[in-house]
Amino acid sequence: MRHVRVLTTLAGVVLALSACGSGDGDSGSDTKADPFEGLTAQQILDKATKAAGDAKSVHMKGEIKEDESKFGIDMAIEEGKGAYGTISLEGQKMELRQIGKSLYLKGGPIAEAAPDFKDKWIKSDDTESQGFNDITSMDKVFDDMLKPEGKLEIVAGKEVDGKQTVGLKDAAATEGKTDDKGILYISKEGPAYPLLIESTGAAGGLQFVEWNESVDVKAPAKGDTVTQKEVDAAIKG
């Protein structure tokens, strides 16, 4: 499962912005004791992918530690409506809200680069916000997160968020892809939602909760926002 690579790529986007300024149907809800009995690993993954694709919202949270780097995320997303939450990198926390094509960022490395705006929300247009689609679009999140890098195998599940699961292990240790290997835990109860990705190549993982719950995203007050151009000018001095 490609969560480590996806999140570390996003962390690079955050640093780049701070440096240069701009820059429900049938989803596996079978009532059998084991709804995945007789299915291959790929067929189980297909059910999880469909369940995630059919859902309207999710809350994604977790932390990844790799070598000396630590990256955290706590993000609620409703497809077609928006997203809000926080991302953190090396102790620096950034708040994020996305409504339609408008992205608002506050804090983190951008605030350090332009301290006069540390308490302001920086509004970016749709071009500048494209790098954040990995975490603000459900389609993008699960297209990336659920894509295996190696051969999948079925492993024992465990209880996650009060639900029994089946595990799918990504054997991506081959070809040097140790950063991407992990175990995906999929719910055996109700729709086959992905509930947890645990990394086996780094410490930590990602949990997916609050499926289909409404996400209330509000734009910051106009007086609390500044434009990306204003931030660029402040950084350049």
Whole-number pLDDT of residue 237: 65
pLDDT tens track for 11-54: 444 444 444 443 343 444 444 578 999 999 999 999 999 999 99
Instruction: Give the pair of three-digit tokens for residue 178.
Output: 């140790």
Whole-number pLDDT of residue 172: 62
Degrees to nearest 5, angle at CA 59 with 215 and 211: 80
Q: What percentage of the chain carries pLDDT values higher than 90?
A: 38
pLDDT tops 90 at residue 125: no
Query: Average pLDDT of the chain?
Result: 80
Which of the pair, 3 or 201, is modelled with greater confidence? Answer: 201
Which of the pair, 133 or 172, is modelled with greater confidence? Answer: 133
What is the DSSP track for 76-127? Answer: EEETTTEEEEEEEETTEEEEEEEETTEEEEEEHHHHHHSGGGTTSEEEE-TT
CA distances from 186 to 34, 107, 190, 196, 219 (A): 12, 34, 10, 7, 34
Question: Domain 3-23+26-231, what fold?
Answer: outer membrane lipoprotein receptor (LolB), chain A (2.50.20)
pLDDT tens track for 144-157: 888 887 789 999 99
Whole-number pLDDT of residue 16: 45
- What is the pLDDT averaged over residues 80-88? 91
Whole-number pLDDT of residue 233: 80
**Gap between the Cα atoms of 75 and 60, Å rounded:** 5
Which of the pair, 174 or 71, is modelled with greater confidence? Answer: 71
- What is the pLDDT averaged over residues 85-97? 87
